[in-house]
């Protein structure tokens, strides 16, 4: 299965910025072996969709509500995202877990809503520095995975150590390999053979300089890229390191 390189633009960019970035990424994406997914803020989804028209690059959101509609001021439902041309959404990013109190149960409900609208969920899990220092990383992350995935999950998992996000620090290849092996085993135990088809992305300070070695680690099915996805050339350089 091709690796997936996903850009998480977080709360950055006007519609004009998004359209230009998507246009420049699309222009440089010909011949890439990997799959590409761009996740702009809600307000730039339509401009990004227009810029990506005719390209194979997929459009995703950064969150969705668990309900299909209703009295939820300020929230966005999965069918609305599908209506805009999204085929995916990030869910349970550590910034949402921390700043919006999203629990594993909330993430699981959102993953069900995403699937019901035909969106591929990119479910994020990851440990804090204190949890890793305490030797608890694999147990914490596998517990998060078990509680965040609905039965029959057919999306993507992103392993993002919280201490690596936006810090320039990354785990060693051995630590990534160990965590991804643990996640693969958990997916197989939970989903049976279908667990083999769930790509496990690594995320946290991926950049053009470290992408090749991180993407070469066993069971790394791609990357979820934050800061380096806001520049077309650095995002494309990561994509060129993918297989
Ligand atoms: P970063 O963010 O690449 O800027 O570390 C990754 C993420 O939060 O998805």
Ligand 1 centroid to Cα of residue 48, in Å, is 20
CB-count burial class (<10 Å; 0-12, 13-18, 19+) for 183: buried
Q: Which atom of ligand 1 is nearest to the CA of 227?
A: 4
For residue 172, what pLDDT is reported?
A: 97
Q: Judge whether 78 and 116 are in contact, CB under 8 Å.
A: yes
Q: Over the stretch 188-211, which tens digit does the pLDDT of each residue have?
A: 999 999 999 999 999 999 999 999
**Residue 182: which pLDDT band, with cuts at 50, 70 and 90?**
very high
- For residues 220-241, give the mean pLDDT: 98
Helix (H, G, I), strand (E, B) or coil at 131: helix
Tell me the pTM: 0.98
Distance CA 40, CA 46 (A): 10
Confidence category of residue 54, pLDDT binned at 50, 70, 90? very high
pLDDT at 242: 98
Q: What is the pLDDT of residues 208-222, one digit of tens each?
A: 999 999 999 999 999
Distance in Å, CA 232 to ligand 1 centroid: 15
pLDDT tens-digit series, residues 122-171: 999 999 999 999 999 999 999 999 999 999 999 999 999 999 999 999 99
Please give the C-alpha separations between residue 48 and each of 165, 198, 227, in angstroms, as whole numbers. 24, 26, 18
For ligand 1, whether the C-beta of 204 sits within 6 Å is: yes
Per-chain mean pLDDT for the chain: 98
């Amino acid at each position: 299965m091709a690796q997936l390189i996903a850009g998480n633009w977080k709360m950055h960019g006007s519609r004009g910025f998004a359209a230009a970035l998507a246009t420049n990424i699309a222009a440089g994406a010909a011949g890439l072996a990997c799959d590409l997914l761009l996740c702009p803020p809600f307000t730039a989804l339509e401009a990004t969709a227009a810029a990506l028209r005719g390209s194979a690059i997929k459009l995703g959101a950064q969150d969705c509500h668990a309900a299909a509609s209703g009295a939820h001021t300020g929230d966005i439902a999965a069918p609305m995202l599908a209506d805009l041309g999204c085929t995916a959404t990030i869910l349970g990013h550590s910034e949402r877990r921390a700043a919006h109190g999203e629990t594993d149960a909330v993430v699981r409900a959102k993953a069900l809503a995403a699937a019901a609208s035909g969106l591929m969920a990119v479910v994020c899990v990851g440990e804090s520095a204190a949890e890793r220092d305490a030797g608890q990383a694999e147990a914490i992350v596998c517990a998060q995975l078990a509680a965040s995935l609905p039965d029959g999950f057919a999306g993507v998992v992103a392993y993002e150590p919280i201490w690596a996000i936006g810090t320039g620090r990354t785990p060693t290849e051995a630590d990534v390999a160990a965590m991804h092996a643990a996640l693969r085993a958990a997916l197989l135990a939970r989903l049976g053979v279908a667990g083999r088809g769930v790509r496990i992305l690594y995320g946290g300070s991926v950049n053009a300089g470290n992408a090749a070695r991180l993407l070469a680690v066993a069971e790394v099915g791609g990357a979820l890229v934050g800061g380096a996805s806001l520049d077309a050339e650095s995002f494309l350089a990561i994509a060129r390191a993918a297989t």
